[in-house]
C-alpha cells in the first residue's frame, strides 16, 4: 500500500464513525481524494497555487472536509471574544489531541522528501476542490503564505487564507 493511502486510512480509522471526504493535493495540482471509500485522482490545470512558488514541487497538502459538521465544526473567527488557553485550538472544535494525532499520521506516512505546509480542515463545501481554479475564492491563488500580511499602512493585519477553514501544521 502506498504511503499516501496508508496514511489516509489511518486518518479515516481515527475519525470513525465519521467518514469525511479527504483530499490530498500536490504543488503540481495532482489531487487524490477518497469519498465514501472510493479513491479517485485528478490532474488539475494548475489549480493549486499556495504561495506563488510553483518550483516548490515537494509540497503536498492534506484536506479534511468537515463541511457537513463532522467530525468538527468551525469555532468562530478572530476577535469573536474567545480566549487563549481555553483548552481548544484556533478555528475548529477539534481537540488538541485530535490535531496532534492527525499531524502525527501525516508525519509518519508522508513520503520522505515531502513537506506538508498545512493540514486543512474546511467547513465549506465550496472550498478546496479539484474542479475549481486557483482563483482565491475556491482554491489558493498564490497568496496563502504567509498566513497574514499588513495592509500597507502598518495599522491593520489582513488574513491571507480562507476564514472558513482551519490550518494545522506544518509537517516536515
172 residues of the chain, pLDDT tens digit each: 477 778 888 999 999 999 999 999 998 899 999 988 888 998 867 899 888 887 788 899 999 999 998 999 888 665 666 665 666 677 788 999 999 999 999 999 988 889 999 999 999 999 999 999 999 899 898 877 766 555 566 666 555 678 888 888 889 8
Tally of CB atoms within 10 A around 91: 20
Question: What is residue 34's three-state secondary structure?
Answer: strand
Grid coordinates representing 78?
A: 478572530
Tell me what pLDDT residue 111 has. Answer: 87
Q: Which residues, 6+ apart, have CB-to-CB distance to 150 below 8 Å?
A: 156, 157, 158
Residue 51 domain boundaries:
3-168
Distance from C-alpha of 139 to C-alpha of 121, rounded to nearest angstrom: 13
> Residue 47 gets which letter from DSSP?
-
64 near 116, Cβ under 8 Å?
Answer: no
Question: What is residue 126's three-state secondary structure?
Answer: coil
102 near 64, Cβ under 8 Å?
Answer: yes
Distance from C-alpha of 20 to C-alpha of 164, rounded to nearest angstrom: 16
Burial call 4-24: b when 16+ CB within 10 Å, e when fewer: beebbebbbeebeeeebbbbb
| Cα-to-chain-centroid distance, residue 9 | 17
For 76, list phi and psi in degrees, rounded to 5. 110, -170
Grid coordinates representing 17?
A: 464513525
Tell me what pLDDT residue 120 has. Answer: 93
Confidence (pTM): 0.87
Domains of the chain: total:
1
Amino acid at each position: 500500500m502506498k504511503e499516501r493511502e496508508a496514511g489516509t486510512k489511518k486518518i479515516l480509522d481515527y475519525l470513525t464513525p465519521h467518514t469525511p471526504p479527504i483530499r490530498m493535493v500536490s504543488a503540481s495540482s495532482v489531487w487524490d481524494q477518497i469519498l465514501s471509500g472510493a479513491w479517485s485522482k485528478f490532474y488539475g490545470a494548475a489549480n493549486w497555487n499556495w504561495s506563488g512558488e510553483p518550483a516548490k514541487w515537494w509540497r503536498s497538502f492534506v484536506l479534511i472536509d468537515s463541511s457537513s459538521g463532522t467530525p468538527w465544526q468551525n469555532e468562530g473567527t478572530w476577535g469573536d471574544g474567545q480566549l487563549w488557553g481555553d483548552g481548544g485550538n484556533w478555528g475548529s472544535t477539534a481537540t488538541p489531541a485530535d490535531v496532534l494525532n492527525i499531524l502525527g499520521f501525516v508525519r509518519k506516512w508522508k513520503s520522505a522528501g515531502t513537506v506538508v505546509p498545512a493540514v486543512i480542515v474546511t467547513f465549506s463545501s465550496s472550498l478546496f476542490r479539484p474542479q475549481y481554479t486557483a482563483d482565491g475564492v475556491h482554491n489558493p491563488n498564490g497568496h496563502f503564505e504567509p498566513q497574514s500580511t499588513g495592509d500597507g499602512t502598518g495599522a491593520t493585519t489582513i488574513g491571507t487564507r480562507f476564514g472558513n477553514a482551519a490550518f494545522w501544521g506544518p509537517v516536515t
